[in-house]
Amino acid sequence: MKFNSTLYQTTAQLVGQLPKGRSKALGALFSLWNSHPSWDPWLLKDGDVYRLFYLLGSSKSGPWWLEGKICGAISTDLEQWQDLGTVLEVSPEHSWEAGRMLAGCALKENGIYYLFYSAAGEGAEIMNEGIGLATSRDGIHWQRSPRELVKPDANHRWYGQYKRSLGGCDYDHYQWRDPYVVKDEQTGLYYMFICAYRKEGGKGAYRGCVGLAVADRIDGSYELLPPAATPTIEGTQESPFYEMERPQVIYRNGQYHLFFSCWTTWLNPKWLGTVDRAQITDSSLYWYVADQITGPYRPVSQTPVVSGSSRSGIYGTNFFSAPDAPDEFIAYGWYCKRMTLAISPFVRVIWNQDSIRLSI
């Protein structure tokens, strides 16, 4: 099976601009397209091949994200893709990943592929998230570790969970997902950035932070460090964000740059009153910087949003080396209104010394 990401992009933009209820045909197209929603892609350059991983779900039996599994595809040009089918799905043998699969990242070292991913249990544990690792020698067949790779215990100092209420039901949400692993070339250490929930020093529901762990081997063991980013609204102990999803760290121009996403639903109203609301949408990509890889990361401005991202329609935006210019980047993610992947070499990142802009 092959799919064309540019076709996905064009159709998503077209349908997204048409008024709702325009015709029965459009309604049927919307239902068909969203019967198999796809989201949270991540990429790996493997020689002359690009390896794509993404989440695939179903909207037939409840919220689309409840049935996520990790699928894969390969391409030589980032436009035409060959589907590889399911890479990893929930594992009844491991209770911590028996409910749903979540996003991660992939690396290759010494001929071995490393797939870092996140997952959650089933039933009452559906919001109890954890991080795992699977390895492969061919990029197709994967061997997963039976244990969580790194997870704070219940009494951990820096990270914890929050009791939320939804639909009249109370549940514990343990945010611990979206691992992004980068090797620091200066020290040879591996740093894992994580969408996490701040315990120490936080107050109220808004405690989104970027967690951090370190190891001297790519496969661990990983030691927990204090959060790399703990945004705080001045005069409070609250974060602007309930969650800081799909974190990515890139070293450029003598600094470490942290990017992440957050749905507008999960932004702190106290913070929204202090920023330029015109730049805040679901697709806004937030931008922080630090002098050290471990942080602390700080916002680049009062409204720390990458220019153009608020209009992209893409959620969970990550940067990736451009195929025709390795020192430049493209932006990719998924169209949050259409639930389709946004993988194309045409969304360029214009990154100058002190500014970043998406060319939409």
Please identify every residue annotated as catalytic. 40, 245
Dihedrals φ, ψ of 171, to 5°? -150, 155
Examine residue 309 and say whether the peptide bond preceding it is cis (omega within 30 degrees of 0).
Answer: no
Cα 320 from Cα 109, distance rounded (Å): 18
Cα 284 from Cα 315, distance rounded (Å): 8
Task: Tell me the two tokens of residue 53.
Answer: 């991983």
Cα 213 from Cα 191, distance rounded (Å): 6
Please report, for residues 96, 205, 308, the alpha-carbon distance to residue 164 in angstroms, rounded to integers and kept in the order given.
Answer: 20, 8, 33
Taking each helix axis from N to C end, the angle separating 24-34 and 5-17, rounded to the nearest 10 degrees, works out to 140
Beta strands 162-166 and 169-173 are antiparallel
Instruction: Collapse the DSSP code of 31 into the 3-class scheme (helix H, G, I; strand E, B; otherwise coil) and give the result.
Output: helix
Cα 289 from Cα 48, distance rounded (Å): 32
- Cβ(304)–Cβ(286) below 8 Å: yes
